Amino acid sequence: MMTTKGDKSKLLILPALIVVGIVTQIPFILTIIYSFISWNVKRPDLGISFAGFSNYKKILSDGQFYQVILNSLLIVVVGLTICTVLGILFGLMLNREFKGVNLLRTLFVIPYFVMEAVVGIIWKTLMLNPSLGLNYYISNALGLEPIDFFGKYALLTIMLLIIWQWTPFFFLIIMSGLQNMPSEILESARIDGATGWKLLLHIQLPLIRDHINVAMTLGLINILKVFGLIYVTTSGGPGSSSSNLPYYSYKALFYDWNVGTAAAIAVVTVALTLIVVQRFYGFMNKNNSKNI
């Protein structure tokens, strides 16, 4: 049987598909298998046994699980919304030529390139610590009681740090769209009298719509899987008030040493992530079709 050029070209991507399948699907399949077993690492005397759906029943009957889901959704919704708005605003502000603009752009994107754990350590120890951080000295200078941000306002503080770190990512993508915007269209719009909000809402935002969609989609996935920031700052506390699904799965494995429960949480996390991403895609496509 003769093979066409199209068939040969498809064969070229086969090695890449195999590698991607090995790296992504095999670990996930193993996670699904582990979610159906009972295995406590610290109790080898109990052995490993088939548990059926008991691990899923356990987490679905745990009140903390629903608190963690709510936390994860709040982090995503608030973080995604504010990061997008700030990314657009800072993109518009820095999409012009003036002295020092390149330095400002460079300084603005630095937080994105800092590791999550490092961000958490810096803000927890040097900035917001009520005993020895910048928070302490400013509060004393103003004659106020230092605020325990990671104690009283743990979830809010986590969201603010996520926004601080991920806004530059949104800015980079949106800025690239603004930089590549055809100048002829903008000039024609200004000649026709479109200025200010009219220019932004009817010309600039529609032209960078695809860039905004990309920024929000990638931002959604990355904000959903935030772990290091929570690990080094609040450890999900107080209680589970600042815990998200990745940290909740980690806690089940390395605090309770229960492989099956941790795997079940991970599977549910992946399922919920896929549902959220799919809903988000549907929402964005619906809005895009309306604007066409």
Res 46: pLDDT: 80
pTM for the full model? 0.86
Ranges of residues in the chain whose predicted pLDDT is under 70: 1-9, 194, 287-292
Q: Count other Cβ atoms within 10 Å, centred on residue 242.
A: 25
Q: How far is CA 243 from the centre of its chain?
A: 14
Task: Collect all residues with Cβ–Cβ distance below 8 Å to 41 and sequence separation of at least 6.
Answer: 257, 258, 259
Res 287: pLDDT: 65
Strand-pair partners of 49? 38
Q: Count other Cβ atoms within 10 Å, centred on residue 90.
A: 20
Q: Which domains can be identified in the chain, with CATH numbers?
A: 53-291 (1.10.3720.10)
Res 75: pLDDT: 94
Res 1: pLDDT: 46
Longest CA–CA span in the chain (Å) reads 86
CA–CA separation, 179 and 102 (whole Å): 13
Res 198: pLDDT: 76
Res 37: pLDDT: 92
Task: Collect all residues with Cβ–Cβ distance below 8 Å to 26 and sequence separation of at least 6.
Answer: none
Contact predicate 281/217, CB 8 Å: yes
How open is the CA angle 119-121-126, to the nearest 5 degrees? 100
Q: At 71, which amino acid appears? A: N
Res 221: pLDDT: 87
> Using one digit for the tens of pLDDT, what is the confidence trace for 246-291?
999 999 888 888 899 999 999 998 888 888 888 877 777 776 655 5
Res 89: pLDDT: 92
